[in-house]
Amino acid sequence: MQYLIGVAAAVFLTAATPAMAYIGPGMGAGAVAVVFGVIGSIFLAIFAVLYYPIKRTLKNRRTPQDTSNSQTPDK
């Protein structure tokens, strides 16, 4: 019985008819903008998470400059 249901489901899924739907230019551009926005926000989030540790590592690799006062007062 399950085999018959599986075959029937496969036949119904492969025999889909077109939806005859129309997406206007405004809605199509909006959909494309949303997709690009979601992808861009994902990349920006990854960059934001990785930027600070990389920046801190590069800053620590620089040679530390002497910040102490090397001039001593005359006695």
- Domain assignment present for residue 49? The answer is yes
- Domain assignment present for residue 52? The answer is yes
pLDDT tier at 40, thresholds 50, 70, 90:
very high
- Domain assignment present for residue 22? The answer is no
Q: What does the block give as tokens for 71?
A: 């001039």
Return the pLDDT at 17: 77
- Domain assignment present for residue 69? The answer is no
Q: What does the block give as tokens for 49?
A: 């998470």
By residue range, what is the domain housing residue 56? 27-60
Whole-angstrom distance, CA of residue 64 vs CA of residue 53: 18
State the pTM of this model: 0.51
pLDDT tier at 28, thresholds 50, 70, 90:
very high
Q: How many alpha carbons fall within 13 Å on the CB side of residue 57?
A: 5
pLDDT tier at 67, thresholds 50, 70, 90:
low
